[in-house]
Structure 1
Amino acid sequence: MRQRYTLSRELVIERSWPVFLDLLVAAGLLAGFYAILWIAKFWFSGAIPEVEIYRSPSHLPLYAFYSTVRIFVAYLLSLGFAIGYGYVAAYNPRVEALMIATLDILQSIPVLSFLPGVMLAMMSIFPSRQIGIELGAILLIFTGEVWNMAFSFYSSLKSIPRELHEACTVNNFSPLQRLFQLELPYATIGLIWNSMVSVASGWFFLMVCEMFPVGSRNFRLPGLGSYLQTAASSGDNVAMVYGIITMIAIIVLTDQLLWRPLIAWSDKFKFENVESSTRINSPILHLIRHSNMLGVIQRNTLVPLGEMVYRGLAHRSERRYARNTSKTSSHRSSTAVFAVASLAIAAVIGIAAFHAITLLRLVHSHEVVLLFEGAAATFLRVNVSLLLATAWTIPVGVMIGFNPRLASITQPLAQIAASFPATALFPVILVALMKLGMGLGIGSIALMMLGTQWYILFNVIAGAMAIPSDLKEVARLFHFTSLQRWTTVILPGIFPFLITGLVTASGGAWNASIVAEYFQLKNRTLMTQGLGAQISAASNRGDFPTLLLATIIMALMVVTINRLIWRRLYKLAETKYRLEG
């Protein structure tokens, strides 16, 4: 009797569990639909440039919701831009060098350099709606999230093994088929880990992007960043603690609901012949895979739609190969289009350069000297912070990437640390350094590391996880020493990811200089000699000529470093350290 009762109970649980999963999925979809309606209602209301921020904890859920929406809308824009930009740069040799140099410049330009133009443009497009201010803040967050993802996708495309490209060519894959069946799967691991550090970077710059001055106007949006900055400015430590706890809770929930399932799902895209014996598990991924509702949607909607698209692409491919005689004329027309587009871009650049030179004439000679001196000081701080960050992130990242159990524990902790607004922690660091006889010059290096070391760590973890299991097995079977494993398996395996992390960390360090070298504490403004401090000061007082010249100097320094160092290392990663079958 007891056995029969136990069997019937297990049968009831087995039958009721899918129903429970479907209810959870339905509740999630309804909540998402309601959130979209709420955001649409707020964004299309009348514009309120300077919203009053309440420090009561009861307002935190709404502020956290607004900030989370801004960060993930900016992330979706970043993901689309990264895939498109990386694809064009990887497969167009005529524009590749220019696009990568441009990307290097853009990722090093501080958020505040984009701020005046972005906000004025959005306010002119939507002069009487809140969506103008919101889109301005989202685009500012976008400029802090997008560049490392673009570098990651570009680097992954350049390191795809030749035999996989040949297999696509033999099977007459269209560009869209190759994108979805080869390139995106191959780049998935790097994209996911760079997505995590991009979102973390969004949280890092949230305080700057939600509450900022533009000339004589002050913009303040309802959000967690404005709440934290208001609490820090007023010295309300209790409100700061509540805000930080709320942010940590959001990061942990995002890790469990989004990143952990994506990491577990991406494990199937590893380029290996031997399946790994240890995997990262995700209860949410298990829920998604066993949901009857999502299964019905996939079988009746996604699968037929995908088959229809691929069938149409196959027919187009057949027709394209049947019209081989028109290749010469199409090549000539594409060349003509490229020439016209190049001339148009050159004309736009020429007009912009003329106006920039006109504006730069307003900068005095002694200010130019100060800007170059500040650029030298910031250059030294950036490189010291990179060396210190690399020294600990490589061994720690490899250890986490080789141990999925350790990764499941440390991943959310690393996200919390990467997302933590260092500007909130910086006053404590600054006071401690001043007691030791050090000033903001040393403290700015610490703040740069807090904002940029995670680019290296997350890319090293992704590289270590992407190393094929059969290479690890060979090293174990042949009893490699630790030095042999590092020189023949680990460092060559993580090298392309490490270069991506160093490039983006370098740009992030230049970007972080705006908050590392110029800090406002209550009614005091602390600053040290540096290009970041000069950009922040020029932005606050609305000095656009000085702001433009400082940004140009920073861009020129980054291009020089890119030409002398990073391009050569990227070339080495594409040729010597590419995985081949």
Structure 2
Amino acid sequence: MKNIKATLAVLAAFLALPLVVFAYFGSWGEVLSDPQTPFLPYFVLRSLLRMLIAYFFVVVFGLVYGITAGLYRTARLFMLPLLDILQSIPVLGYLPMAILLFTGALPGELGYEIASIFLIFSGMAWAVTFSILGAVRAIPNDLREASNAFGFRGWKYVRHVVFPAIFPAFITGSILAWGGGWYFLVAAEMLSYGSSVHVLPGIGSFLGSAVFTYGNLPSAFLGLTVFVAVVFAINSFVWKPLSEYAKYFNVQTQLSEETKPPNFSEFGPVRHLIYFTDALEKKYGDSLDAFVARAQKGMGRVARFLEHVPYRRRHFSHPRIFQFSLYSMLFIVTMVVLAYLVASAINSLPLKSLLNSVATHPEVAQLPIFALYSSARIFAAYLIALSWTLVAGIAVARSKRLSEIFMPVFDIGQSTPALALFPFIVILVISTLGGGELSVEVASILLLLTGTQWYLFFNIVGAVKSIPGNVLEASRAFDLRCMQFYTTVVLPAIIPGVLLGSIQAWGGAWNALIVSEYINYGGNVYSVPGLGSFLNHATLAASPDPWVITLAVASMSIIVLAMNYFVWRPLFNYAERFKFENV
């Protein structure tokens, strides 16, 4: 009750802040001149509905895809490369496909609504799916062997072993997913392509219209304050309690201080959801097991592979050339399909020759140089992010007091859309450094940080919280303190989390390039050379060329895939030796 009162007090302070600021500066006239202001509560509800619908499909997709790829090596051989490719495509790259599939097939406003939900889905899905896949792969071998010995195979293994084991990673991935959805909400509710813009009612479009259409900073400040209050409320009443509850699902074989039964009164309103889910599981769990068993038996040999659970984690044994060829084939097919969908969306079918497009657009030859510029900015942002998140993540995860103070702040930070930060970052940087190229570079890196640092931070926090309680008790028994404790226990334990966060951070950074290298504010365009600004120019051209857009997207995807294949994946395989076994 105390925490709820404190949260409500903070929310009241958030909502009172713009009232005080507008009264002090006399800005009420500008706020009320915005025709959207009276509809702000309705806009919040519309955005929340889109986010919830997108998250529902994210959960279904993430569970099915992540568990299947995590359990079965043959399926993972094809599913993991495809997931890498889809994650490497920026949100803007999915926009033409959304326009074609939904606005053309569904009547009127419904098509745009579904397109918006699809774009939010594309910003949320990968964090959940990768988190689940990694958690399934991290299930200890002795637990797999015990499950087989006791007859937990197929659906029973998934329900009784996999679901509980992946719950902490699922919650961490969901927090990141909602942050990703909020981050691109402005772009998802202001569907712009070529010279046309379709605006859907929502808090994201309210912010975008206040900044880009009306240039009304007080109205943008009001929208940002309401947005922050909504994110803070969701994080405080939903994700924070679920994150605390998730630690009771950490895989370990001995009781410890960290595995005491949870005090549900500490979880606030979300405890009712926990009670409801637990009641459903107790009432219908056995019936569900029996139903699935009958369904599998009826499917015969088709479902026989579901009954098998690998005894140990197994890595790919195929030659590297085979894996590279598979990646290349899937990549080429995906890009050709993307080019066709882009062409269909702008009514330029049949597709022109690729060589003809390259010949008529000589700027395509500069894509490798633009890729180097963008890679250098992302690397700089990544180093800055890693330097502070490593320290802050460990400190916050290890201290309940620091967690209570800073986690809500970081939750809000990771969820704030980059487009909403445009005017404030531009004003701050340009007023400090002037309007030269250096100031735009600094603003670009700051905006890249907003799309990079939170993946690292929350994965580090999740990794620290997942350290088994008996390992912590053993470290106390051996009197490991201060630096010795962190170097021998904490740092090795979080290496998989740091690498998973790094993979997601680099993918998020390439997404953030779209909004960080091309800044349109106050009638002025601030841009720096790079793939993000190139893709913006190509998409916003009067006559967009499908192949030019596809080549820009492909350039981004190739770099992301190359990093994943040659850097992150070998490091991730190496990091598996730091996973806890038999604890």
Structure 1 Cα separation of the partners of residues 100 and 338 of structure 2: 20
Distance 1:89 1:417 in 2: 32
1:366 aligns with 2:345: no
Could you state the TM-score of these two structures normalised by the residue count of structure 2? Answer: 0.80
Deviations 1:209-245 (A, max 9, x none): 1113222432110011111011112221221121112
The answer on 1:536 being equivalent to 2:533 is: no
Counterpart of 1:276 in structure 2 is 258
Please state whether the residue corresponding to 2:197 is helix, strand or coil: strand
Q: Is 1:436 matched up with 2:398? A: no
Name the structure 2 match of 1:546: 548
Which residue of 386, 393, 401 corresponds with 1:390? 386
- Maintained 8 Å contact 1:264/1:280: no
Give the superposition deviation at 1:178. 1.7
CA distance in 1, matches of 2:477, 2:505: 36
Matched letter for residue 139 of structure 2: I
Is 1:163 the counterpart of 2:142? The answer is yes
What amino acid is aligned across from residue 440 of structure 1 in structure 2?
V
Distance in 2 between residues matched to 1:288 and 1:562, nearest whole Å: 37
Is the 1:105–1:555 Cα contact (8 Å) retained in structure 2?
Answer: yes
* 2:320 aligned residue: none
Any conservation in 1 of the 2:87–2:507 contact (CA below 8 Å)? yes
Task: State the alpha-carbon separation in 2 of the partners of residues 485 and 359 from structure 1.
Answer: 58
Q: 347-356 or 440-449: which moved more?
A: 347-356
1:558 to 546, 557, 560: 560
1:362 partner SS? helix
Question: Counterparts of 1:574 and 1:420 in 2: how far apart (Å)?
Answer: 33
Q: Which residue of 2 aligns with 1:416?
A: 412
Contact 2:89/2:553 (8 A) holds in 1: yes
Separation in structure 2 between the aligned mates of residue 543 and residue 369 of structure 1, nearest angstrom: 15
C-alpha distance 289-247 of structure 1, shift in aligned 2 (>3 A): closer
Compared CA separation, residues 580 and 237, structure 1 to 2 (3 A): same
The answer as to whether partners of 1:155 and 1:496 remain within 8 angstroms in 2 is no
Deviation at 1:95, TM superposition (A): 4.3
1:74-153 equivalence runs, <5 A: 74-126=54-106, 128-153=107-132
Unpaired runs of 5+ in structure 1? 1-52, 332-341
Query: What is the SS of the residue equivalent to 2:525?
Result: strand
- Equivalent residue runs for 1:288-367 within 5 Å: 302-313=281-292, 352=337, 358-359=353-354, 361-364=356-359, 366-367=362-363
Q: Measure the CA separation in 2 of the matches of 1:92 and 1:153.
A: 14
Partner of 1:4: none
Matched, 1:63 2:43: yes
Q: Deviations over 1:249-285 (max 9, x none)?
A: 2112212332133123222202232132899977584
| Separation (CA, whole Å) in 2 of partners of 1:534 and 1:108 | 17
1:226 match? 205
C-alpha distance in structure 1 between counterparts of 2:470 and 2:571, whole Å: 26
Question: Do the aligned partners of 1:190 and 1:497 also contact (CA within 8 Å) in 2?
Answer: no
Equivalent residue number for residue 257 of structure 1: 237
Tell me by how many angstroms 1:316 deviates: 7.6
Paired positions, count? 509
Question: Which residue pairs with 2:495 in the alignment?
Answer: 495
The structural deviation recorded for 1:521 is 0.5
- Which among 140, 157, 161 is matched to residue 182 of structure 1? 161
Larger deviation: 508-517 or 567-576?
567-576
Q: Which TM-score applies when normalising by structure 1?
A: 0.80
Counterpart of 2:226?
246
For the 8 Å contact 1:72–1:199, the answer to whether it is kept is no
Q: Retained in 2: the 8 A contact 1:101–1:562?
A: no
RMSD across aligned positions (CA):
3.2
Q: Quick one: structure 1 residues 117 and 517, their matched pair in 2 at CA, closer, same or farther if it must change by over 3 Å? A: same
- Describe the shift of the 1:232–1:279 C-alpha distance in structure 2 as closer, same or farther (beyond 3 A): farther
What amino acid does structure 1 have at the position aligned with 2:392?
A: V
CA contact (8 A) 1:280 1:405 kept: no
Mapped contact 2:414–2:454 kept (Cα < 8 A):
yes
Q: Does 2:550 align with 1:512?
A: no
Distance in 1, matches of 2:199 and 2:90, equals 19
8 Å CA contact 2:335–2:554 kept in 1: the answer is: no
Question: Gaps spanning 5+ residues in structure 2: where?
Answer: 1-32, 309-326, 341-350
State how far apart, in whole Å, the 2-side matches of 1:350 and 1:431 are: 38
Identity of aligned residues (%): 30
Moved more, 234-243 or 529-538: 234-243
Structure 1 counterpart of 2:387, one-letter code: A
Q: Which whole-Å CA distance do the structure 1 matches of 2:459 and 2:258 have between them?
A: 20
What does residue 480 of structure 1 align with?
480
Looking at structure 2, the residues matched to 280 and 246 of structure 1 have their Cα atoms a distance apart, in angstroms, of 33
The answer for the alignment partner of 1:205 in structure 2 is 184
CA 1:546–1:189 in structure 2 vs 1: closer, same or farther (change >3 Å)?
same
Contact 1:270-1:468 within 8 A present in 2 as well? yes
Q: Could you say if the C-alpha distance between residues 327 and 199 of structure 1 is closer, same or farther in structure 2, counting changes exceeding 3 Å?
A: closer
